[in-house]
Amino acid sequence: MIPAFRPEQVLAAITPQARDEPDSGIVKAAMHGFTVPGVIPLWSGEGTAPTPEAFARPAAEALLRGETFYTWQRGLPELRQALVRYHARVFGRSFDVENFFVTSGGMQAIQTIVQMVAGDGEEIVIPTPAWPNYAGALRILGSRPVEVPMDFANGRWTLDLDCLFDAVTPRTRAIALNSPSNPVGWTASLEELTAIRDFCRRRGIWILADEVYARFYYGGKGETRAPSFLDICEDEERLLLANTFSKNWAMTGWRVGWLQAPRALGPAIERIIQVNTSGTPAFLQRGCVAALEEGDPFLAEQVAAARRCRDLAVDRLRGLPGISFEVPPGAFYLFFSIEGMTDSAATVRRLIDEAKVGFAPGSTFGPGGEGFLRMCYLKDTRKLEEALGRFARWLEVHSPV
Ligand SMILES: Cc1ncc(COP(=O)(O)O)c(C=O)c1O
């Protein structure tokens, strides 16, 4: 007879990394929130608009046409060429088609980078608060996130570059920089990017650049993107960029992204893709071509809507007692502290149950995040207004925990 194993025994038989990885506080909030009727969800990083038909139709047609086979490991040539054209438009630079690799979401671009550069026990330095999947992806693979808290003082987030550089040791393989940042919206200036580039060049380490929110930038007039490492780095240097279709073109559920890397890494990246997903579905990639080729007006509308939502959220939160935050120059989140709050996860739970509004807890974003909540404000404005009203009414009579 096959012996029955108790759950603890089964769990004891897997790797400690898989067993002990903490839950994402964002996912935890969402999973709880799904069970509570009537909650307005502001926990995850996506808007309310579904993917436009102009991008969805080519994918649906390709599926029906029978594009259901294994495909190019690096992505469809048509999509990679469309990426070259997109980058020429947005960054005014011509890249080679061999610099682009299609992945299953921005997340897999990050995972591929980590698998490629950080071995067992090696480190990647990450400013925090940061999207928790970075630290998670590293720990799962046996490498180590070294978290460097940013400062929040006088209503402003700043990154002390000396602290960032001091965290680099002989075990460090990369500095990961997410700009504009999730969750705080902090956006690196060209001078800061240049200092990081120069430091990484001197130390011979990689830059892991996450610019997935680059287009959601509310900086100077007429600027259509945030400053980028692509403005200052050479074609074939130690720069790996993770990007995604998710945010710009309302395609979070598609799980398609891309990785931009030196050409020489092509065979290595292809092998990593082979053993992880064996490629991104070809029919989905047809929709991504349409997003790149026809999606500029939609993206411009999304960014304008995000700016309006940001201003609305800022206006409503500003009047509330005990709340502080920086008006974020980029991305689509508001990261705000509540005076007296020491357990953001418990407060998020109470807000879901009692106020029917769903935020993400600051604690999940690593050192410097506790005491804050994150809201994604890229929502239908009436819903956003209603959610902010619920929060304000809750705060009048309750105290955070
Ligand atoms: C900073 C950051 N990078 C990467 C991603 C990955 O996006 P996706 O895997 O949905 O394409 C996200 C998603 O929330 C993010 O916030």
Rounded mean pLDDT, 119-132: 96
CB distance 244 to ligand 1 below 6 Å: yes
Position 401 scores a pLDDT of 84
Residues 28 and 96 in one domain: no
Residue 329 sits in a domain whose CATH number is: 3.90.1150.10
CA of 353 to the centre of ligand 1 (A): 27
Q: Is 377 helix (H, G, I), strand (E, B) or coil?
A: coil
Distance 244 CA to ligand 1 centre (A): 7
The C-alpha angle with vertex 394 and arms to 391 and 396, in degrees rounded to 5, equals 110
Separation of alpha carbons 185 and 329, rounded Å? 6
> Going by CA atoms, what residue is nearest to atom 6 of ligand 1?
106
Q: Which residue has the tokens 């003082």?
A: 153
- Average pLDDT, whole number, for the chain? 96
Q: Indicate if the pLDDT at residue 61 is higher than 90.
A: yes
Sign of the dihedral defined by the CA atoms of residues 263, 268, 271, 273, in that order = negative
Asked if residues 287 and 67 have their Cβ atoms less than 8 Å apart, the reply is: no
Nearest 5°: the CA angle 340, 343, 346 is 120
Structural domain count of the chain = 2
**Cα 178 to averaged position of ligand 1 atoms, centre (Å):** 10
Identify the band that residue 4 occupies on the pLDDT scale cut at 50, 70 and 90: confident
Cα separation, 83 vs 288, whole angstroms: 10
**Confidence grade of residue 3 (pLDDT, cut at 50, 70, 90):** confident
* Other Cβ atoms closer than 10 A to 249: 26
pLDDT bin (cut points 50, 70, 90) of residue 38 is very high
pLDDT of residue 64 exceeding 80, the answer is yes
Q: In this structure, are 274 and 131 located in the same domain?
A: yes
**Has residue 1 got a pLDDT over 80?**
no
Residue type, 168: V
For a mutational test of ligand 1's pocket, the pick from 103, 131, 364, i.e. the residue with the most ligand atoms closer than 8 A to its C-beta, is: 131
Q: Is residue 371 part of a domain?
A: yes
- The pLDDT of residue 290 is 98
Domain assignment of residue 202, given as a range: 55-294
Query: What are the backbone angles phi and psi of residue 158, rounded to the nearest 5°?
Result: -135, 150
Residue 139 lies in a domain: yes
Residues 239 and 341 in one domain: no
Within-domain flag for 207:
yes
By the 8 A CB rule, do 345 and 16 touch? Answer: no
CA 28–ligand 1 middle distance (angstroms): 17
What is the 56 CA–ligand 1 centroid distance (Å)? 20
Q: Are residues 104 and 39 in the same domain?
A: no
106 lines ligand 1 (CB under 6 A): yes
Domain boundary (294, 320, 345) is at 294
Residue 2 placed within a domain: no
Q: Based on the fold, state whether residues 279 and 323 are members of the same structural domain.
A: no
Cβ–ligand 1 contact at 257 (below 6 Å) = yes
Residue 100 sits in the same domain as residue 225: yes
Ligand 1 neighbourhood includes 105 CB (under 6 angstroms): yes
Sheet holding 372-376, edge to edge: 323-324, 333-338, 372-376, 360-361
Find residue 333's DSSP bridge partners: 376
Residues 331, 283 share a domain: no
At 70-100, the pLDDT tens digits run: 999 999 999 999 999 999 999 999 999 999 9
Instruction: Check pLDDT > 80 for residue 114.
Output: yes
Confidence of residue 222 (pLDDT cuts 50, 70, 90): confident
Query: β-strands 156-158, 151-153: how paired?
Result: antiparallel
The answer to whether 46 and 30 are in contact (CB under 8 A) is: no
142-170 tens-digit pLDDT = 999 999 999 999 999 999 999 999 999 99
The reported pLDDT for the residue numbered 399 is 81
Indicate the helix (H) or strand (E) that contains 336: strand 333-338
In a domain, 247, yes or no: yes
**With a 6 A CB cut-off, is 107 part of the ligand 1 pocket?**
yes
Q: Does 182 contact ligand 1 (Cβ within 6 A)? A: yes
Q: Is 269 helix (H, G, I), strand (E, B) or coil?
A: helix
Q: What is the CATH number of the domain that holds 274?
A: 3.40.640.10
> Would 1 be classed as within a structural domain?
no
Q: Does the Cβ of 108 fall within 6 Å of ligand 1?
A: no
With the C-alpha atoms ordered 159, 160, 163, 168, is the resulting torsion angle positive or negative? positive
Residues 316 and 285 in one domain: no
pLDDT of 30 strictly over 80:
yes
**Same domain membership, residue 104 and residue 145:** yes
- Round to whole Å and give the CA distance between 72 and 53: 25
The residues facing 227 across adjacent strands are: none
- Tens-digit pLDDT profile for residues 332-384: 999 999 999 999 999 999 999 999 999 999 999 999 999 999 999 999 999 99
Give the tens place of pLDDT for each residue, 304-318.
Answer: 999 999 999 999 999
Q: Give the residue among 226, 242, 260, 232 at the shortest CA–CA distance from 331.
A: 226
171 plus 198 within the same structural domain: yes
Of the three residues 294, 321, 340, the one that is the final residue of a domain is: 294
Residue type at 242 in one-letter notation: A
212 and 105, same structural domain?
yes
Q: Which of 26, 243, 247, 332 to mutate to test the pocket of ligand 1 (most atoms within 8 A of CB)?
A: 247
Phi (first) and psi of residue 275, to 5 degrees: -85, -10
Confidence band for 23, pLDDT divided at 50, 70 and 90? confident
Domain end marker among 274, 294, 314 = 294
Tokens of 108: 């897999």
Torsion sign (Cα): 221, 128, 123, 256:
negative
Could you tell me which of 192, 167, 148 has the C-alpha nearest to residue 368? 148
Those residues whose C-beta lies under 8 Å from the C-beta of residue 167, and which sit 6 or more positions away, are: 125, 146, 148
In a domain, 41, yes or no: yes
- Judge whether 401 lies within some domain: no
Q: Which atom of ligand 1 is nearest to the CA of 45?
A: 14
Q: Which pLDDT value is given to residue 138?
A: 95
Protein residue whose Cα sits closest to atom 4 of ligand 1: 106
Task: Yes or no: say if 83 and 295 are a contact pair by the CB < 8 Å rule.
Answer: no
Q: What percentage of the chain exceeds 90 in pLDDT?
A: 92
Q: Are residues 270 and 309 in the same domain?
A: no
Q: What is the dihedral of CA 273, 275, 278, 279, to 10 degrees?
A: -10
- CA angle 130/134/140 to nearest 5° reads 145
- Tell me the residue length of the chain: 401
- Beta partners for residue 124, in sequence order: 145, 174
- pLDDT score at 359: 97
Q: What pLDDT shows up at residue 368?
A: 95
